[in-house]
Amino acid sequence: MRRARLLFPLAVLAWLTTVSVHAALNPPAVVWITNSSVKLEQLTADLDWAALAQGSNVPTASLTVTNYHILGQGLGYSFEDNGKLLFLFGDTISENITNWNYHAADPLAWCTNTDGESPLVLHFYTNTPAITNASGVATNVFPVFVQPDGIKMGPDDVPNAGISLSNGVFLICNTGSDTTDTNIAPQTNDYSVLVTFFETNLVATNNANDSTYDAANFFVTNRTVSALNTNLPPTSPLQGHFINVSLRAWGTNVFMFGAGEYRSSDVFLCMIPAADFVSGAGTLFFTGLTNGQPAWSSAESNCVPVVQDNPTNGPPWPNDNPSVGNVSVIYSTNLNLWLMTYDGGRNTGHQSTNTTGVYFSCAPQPWGPWSTPQLIFNKYRDHGAGVFIYDPALNDAALAGPTVDSNTVPPLTTPGGDFAPLMIERFAKITNATLNIYYTLSTWNPYCVVKMRSQFAIEPAIGLPNHTQTNFSFSWLAPTNEIYQVDYSTNLLAGWNTLTNFIASSNGTFNFTDTGTNSGGFGTNKFYRVRTSQ
């Protein structure tokens, strides 16, 4: 039996002149629980690098070196596709570049896991059915890489989002990066492209044991989504707010949350009719809230942020100094809330004042209002640096590497860093009014993807009461899996009595009404409190 939790006590004077108040209910507060952000497992390579540095051999669930010659990779965006969970990875390296040089290519994988606490087993799409040697090592298996016609998918060019709709499976790829740029902005001319993924063609090829691999059979380039080219005229519809994105279907639309230039952007929003997703016809861009209602424009240049990356409360947009890299948005049906994570808040302060890391926000609608972002993972504060993220000042060489390129990213002198916190929607769960989110996180050095969990306390907000001569009522929003009871008393300090049967809700709105018949009528003072049932 779990202990009952007292919510915000509601103290009211019960016998007043007739009052009727009808106000929109505030969503429950979702507050990060200190020290709750932890690494659960490493997804790529054969052995967990952090454990290996401590002298232990802890195999990964997917054994990606043995099975696919994948030593390291970044990202890990996931989305639902006909019962499977598809994953998109970027800039992959192999364990032996002489025999298997992947040239920073970008593979896809899938899994059937439904529980974020269980080891995540990745199955990478491959060019042929697996053939293993006597030692059980795959000898001919090469991952299928995202390589649409007509666009470059080299270093820093990656598939960063995907969605499965009734008319196909679609990916968003960013391309145009120039890694030879010695300045700090190799992605200044990035643009994003919509790509169709023909998964059924890939499956048919594998089943037929056809060793011919032609990316054109599986990936088709569609429209340009957004572009960063600084030479674009102000009237151009492509203004670079949606280079790295997150996609979520909702009703008849697809909501696209986006960041522009890498690590130099806030978070923006547009809405595309699902029926016209390929053409982009009818796309509307969020331009702000007026009296709580969203305003839209057909021009991307009119976009304003839905979430501002401004952890130190500096100048407002557009004069702020944002640093969002990747953004991830999911929807919680139990909470009736949209949830967002992104990597941002970048600064160069001392460990004690460093605001760089993973941020979390939530909102009742895609357009908000979004809650003030909370820093839920910082590599110094939350035991990442020196534990599973390499830091030359904290680690010996045991945790260093592999890196994406040992020549340009020397393992011993390159600090690791957390980026791309990408939530896995099907894993999100609520237990005893605690929200658990699970997300992939890339660590740069060692170059791998890990699975993280962060926890949040859910604090329901009780709305304003309605009071008449015969009734007293109020409502609150809370997780649909919770059950509540209301107590009453004429003394805040003692004498509480249970007034109701169990109060449940299928839509997250909980309602209570006191008619006075079960509580001795309305006296001079009467107080109520809401608690979870035992």
State how far the Cα of 429 lies from the Cα of 455, in Å rounded to an integer: 10
Q: Which stretches within 357-399 are classed as H helix?
A: none
Q: What is the pLDDT of residue 139?
A: 58
Farthest CA pair distance, the chain: 86
Q: What is the pLDDT of residue 189?
A: 85
Q: Give the pLDDT of the chain (534 residues) as one tens digit per residue.
A: 344 555 544 433 333 333 333 456 788 899 999 999 999 999 999 999 999 999 999 999 999 999 999 999 999 999 999 999 999 999 999 987 666 788 899 999 999 999 999 999 999 998 765 555 565 555 567 888 999 999 999 999 999 999 999 999 999 999 998 877 656 567 788 999 999 999 877 654 444 344 445 666 789 999 999 998 755 555 555 578 999 999 999 999 999 999 999 999 999 999 999 999 999 999 999 999 998 899 999 999 899 999 999 998 889 998 999 999 999 999 999 888 999 999 999 987 777 788 999 999 999 999 999 999 999 999 999 999 999 999 999 887 899 989 998 888 999 999 999 999 999 999 999 988 899 999 999 999 999 999 999 999 998 888 888 888 788 889 888 888 788 888 888 887 778 888 877 899 888 889 998 887 766 667 667 888 888 875
The matching CATH number, chosen from 2.115.10, 3.90.320, 2.40.160, 3.90.550, for 29-459 is 2.115.10
Matching CATH topology for 10-28+462-532 and 29-459?
no
Q: Give the single-character DSSP code of 296.
A: E
* Domain range list for the chain: 10-28+462-532, 29-459
Q: What is the pLDDT of residue 44?
A: 95
Instruction: Fill in the amino acid letter for 111.
Output: C
Q: What is the pLDDT of residue 91?
A: 95
E strand or H helix at 203, and its extent? helix 199-207
Q: Which parts of 356-493 are beta strand (E)?
A: 357-363, 374-377, 419-423, 429-431, 434-442, 449-459, 461-462, 466-467, 472-477, 484-489
Q: What is the pLDDT of residue 13?
A: 34
State how far the Cα of 132 lies from the Cα of 260, in Å rounded to an integer: 43
CATH number of 10-28+462-532: 2.60.40
Q: Which parts of 15-135 are beta strand (E)?
A: 29-32, 38-42, 70-81, 84-94, 108-111, 123-124
Q: What is the pLDDT of residue 90?
A: 95
Q: Give the DSSP letter string of 116-143.
A: TTSPP--EE-BSS---B-TTS-BSS--B
